[in-house]
Amino acid sequence: NAGVMQNPRHLVRRRGQEARLRCSPMKGHSHVYWYRQLPEEGLKFMVYLQKENIIDESGMPKERFSAEFPKEGPSILRIQQVVRGDSAAYFCASLGGTSFSSGNTIYFGEGSWLTVV
């Protein structure tokens, strides 16, 4: 059973370009979370999605950032017109089932490291 897959692992973009980060959750998982980790800092929640729905985007910057989790395919975190401050590691996590009672837990991907030059 493959884990949470993120790609690309490393991405370099020039200021003003777009960055697209992809996350394929574990098989059967319908919940996806995105977190950002700035250098030497902890993980900051960005957005929580279920299939085709954004459940909580309270951690997403109001501009330039968007996320989707379509019915088919991976979840995408999109950053438009990147700036140097967007340089960070972006982690995706997935969760399955309908409750924690059956042993479900959150699994993280290996992260995507974005560098803006």
Partner 1 sequence: AQSVTQPDIHITVSEGASLELRCNYSYGATPYLFWYVQSPGQGLQLLLKYFSGDTLVQGIKGFEAEFKRSQSSFNLRKPSVHWSDAAEYFCAVGNYGQNFVFGPGTRLSVLP
User: Which residues have CB under 8 Å from 98's CB, separation 6+?
Assistant: none
Minimum distance of partner 1 from residue 57's CB (angstroms): 10
Shorter beta-carbon distance to partner 1: residue 17 or 104: 104
Q: Count of CB atoms within 10 A of residue 74's CB? A: 17
Q: Which residue has the tokens 């995706």?
A: 92
Would you say the C-alpha torsion 36, 12, 76, 18 has a positive or negative sign? Answer: positive
Instruction: Name which of 28, 23, 22 is nearest 1 in CA terms.
Output: 28
Contact with partner 1 (CB under 8 A) among 27, 56, 61, 117: 56
Minimum distance of partner 1 from residue 98's CB (angstroms): 8
What string marks each residue from 65 to 104 as x (binds partner 1 by CB under 8 A) or -? Answer: --------------------------x-x-x--xxxx--x
Residues in contact with partner 1 by the rule CB under 8 A: 31, 33, 35, 41-45, 48, 55-56, 58-59, 91, 93, 95, 98-101, 104-111, 113
